[in-house]
């Protein structure tokens, strides 16, 4: 059994975020975050166990690990 963590690369556009009046910050869609979660779940356990992944790194591995995009 593998254990991994998935973190959003940018704040997820949710009604809660909109209620905070976050302004013009860059957000990620819930659909993209869900897709990243499904891809991480489908990864072979022997290569991804113990991984802490950012959603954009899972969605676009060809770009290399970029981590938290808002802070880079």
For residues 51 and 10, what is the distance between their CA atoms, to the nearest angstrom? 18
pLDDT for the residue 70: 44
Nearest-10 Cα torsion for 13, 18, 22, 23: 90
Q: What is the pLDDT of residue 28?
A: 87
Cβ neighbours of residue 12 closer than 8 Å, sequence gap 6 or more: 27, 28, 29, 30, 33
The tens digit of pLDDT for each residue in 47-69 reads 778 888 999 999 998 988 777 76
Domain boundaries in the chain?
A: 5-71
- pLDDT tens profile 10-36: 888 888 887 887 667 888 889 999 999
């Amino acid at each position: 059994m593998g254990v991994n963590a998935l973190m959003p690369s940018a704040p997820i556009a949710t009604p809660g975020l909109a209620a905070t009046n976050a302004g013009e910050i860059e957000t990620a869609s819930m659909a993209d975050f869900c897709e990243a979660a499904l891809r991480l779940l489908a990864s072979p356990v022997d290569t991804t166990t113990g991984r802490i992944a950012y959603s954009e790194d899972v969605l676009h591995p060809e770009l290399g690990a970029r981590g938290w995009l808002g802070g880079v």
